[in-house]
């Protein structure tokens, strides 16, 4: 039996099952999610075609400078363990990242908020990548909103509690390619141990090549097995703070694969100015919250920029 629970979102008991999974593991795989297979396939194939391009061509859409959120990052361009204040060797992966695909219609009053709305660096080749990724981004946005409504029910909050806080969400999407390497340092990973930063992550995992592992309470690392057609969902630090650690933002990592590995991660974030503070249903009578209120945007920016390596 997998350590990571599977939840069918089309079933009546989905909210309760999500509550159990988020309390125990902070990770779950979801089926019955309703995302069209053609949308998934088009995003996956175009990502693979991009990573197969020569490095010089991929570097044409490289992140313009260290700390810029969107564009191409070559192998060893990031060390995720730095987000937890740890060091370590660079991660052995390359990535292509995009942010919100629709420009903001609201007035931006925080000068740092423009970070989250930075221009995307769209590659010219393959030409089908941009439309495929825009469709996939919108499907993931809709799925994240549905998941958060089920999560609200599981937390005994009104179903639409989170809706106002994600109406201008600053989510990002990254395709990741882990090349097959025969030699690497002993302390190197495909993705070094880390937690995610936002509300939740929706991962389209490689159906053939494994490597994603989740840490248990006793420090044991558990493999994540995602069946074809499923999506892996895990909570980020914002949701752990919202729930006063009733739900977990779980440490995870990706081992250096024996064969090439690919994934597409949708990192859902709340509105830049959303306040992350303890939900009333997650606080015992007379107890004080473990964490003070924070704004979602600055927390996200600080975490992201701490991981970047120069190249």
Among residues 255, 236, 133, the alpha carbon closest in space to that of 190 is found at: 255
Rounded to whole angstroms, the Cα distance separating 236 from 196 reads: 5
User: What is the token pair recorded at 132?
Assistant: 């495929």
**What would the CATH number be for the domain defined by 6-305?**
2.60.120.330
| pLDDT by position in tens, the chain (length 311) | 578 999 999 999 999 999 999 999 999 999 999 999 999 999 999 999 999 999 999 999 999 988 789 999 998 765 554 555 555 667 788 999 999 999 888 888 777 888 889 999 999 999 999 999 999 999 999 999 999 999 999 999 999 999 999 999 999 999 999 988 766 666 678 888 889 989 999 999 998 888 899 999 888 999 998 889 999 999 999 999 999 999 999 999 998 888 899 999 999 999 999 999 999 999 999 999 999 999 888 777 776 666 555 44
221-223 sheet: strands from edge to edge: 191-194, 252-254, 212-215, 221-223
Burial state string for 10-48 with b = 16 or more CB within 10 A and e = fewer than 16: eeeebbebbbebbebbbbbbbbebebeeebbebbbebbe
Predicted TM-score (pTM) of the model is: 0.93
Peptide bond into 300 cis (omega under 30): no
């Amino acid at each position: 039996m997998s350590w990571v629970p599977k939840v069918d979102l089309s079933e009546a008991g989905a909210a309760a099952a999500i509550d159990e999974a988020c309390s125990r593991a902070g990770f779950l795989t979801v089926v019955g999610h309703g995302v069209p297979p053609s949308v998934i396939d088009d995003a996956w194939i175009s990502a693979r075609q991009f990573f197969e391009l020569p490095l010089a061509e991929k570097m044409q859409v490289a992140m313009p400078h260290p700390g810029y959120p969107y564009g191409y990052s070559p192998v060893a361009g990031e060390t995720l363990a730095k987000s937890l204040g740890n060091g370590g060797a660079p991660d052995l992966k390359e990535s292509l990242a995009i942010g919100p695909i629709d420009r903001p219609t609201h007035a931006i009053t925080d000068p740092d908020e423009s970070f989250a709305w930075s221009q995307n660096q769209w590659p010219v080749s393959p030409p089908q990548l941009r439309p495929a990724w825009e469709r996939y981004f919108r499907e993931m946005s809709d799925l994240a909103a549905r998941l958060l409504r089920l999560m609200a029910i599981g937390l005994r909050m009104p179903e639409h509690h989170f809706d106002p806080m994600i109406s201008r969400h600053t989510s990002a999407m990254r395709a990741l390619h882990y090349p097959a390497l025969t030699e690497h340092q002993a302390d190197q990973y495909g993705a070094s141990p880390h937690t995610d930063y936002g509300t939740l992550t929706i991962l389209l995992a490689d159906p053939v090549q494994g490597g994603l592992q989740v840490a248990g309470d006793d420090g044991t690392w558990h493999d994540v097995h995602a069946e074809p057609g499923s999506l892996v969902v895990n909570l980020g630090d914002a949701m752990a703070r919202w729930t006063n650690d009733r739900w977990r933002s779980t440490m995870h990592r990706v081992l250096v694969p024996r064969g090439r590995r690919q994934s597409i991660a949708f990192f859902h974030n709340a509105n830049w100015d959303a306040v992350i503070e303890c939900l009333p249903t997650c606080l015992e009578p007379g107890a004080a919250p473990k964490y003070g209120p924070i704004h979602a945007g600055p927390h996200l920016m600080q975490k992201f920029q701490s991981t970047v390596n120069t190249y």
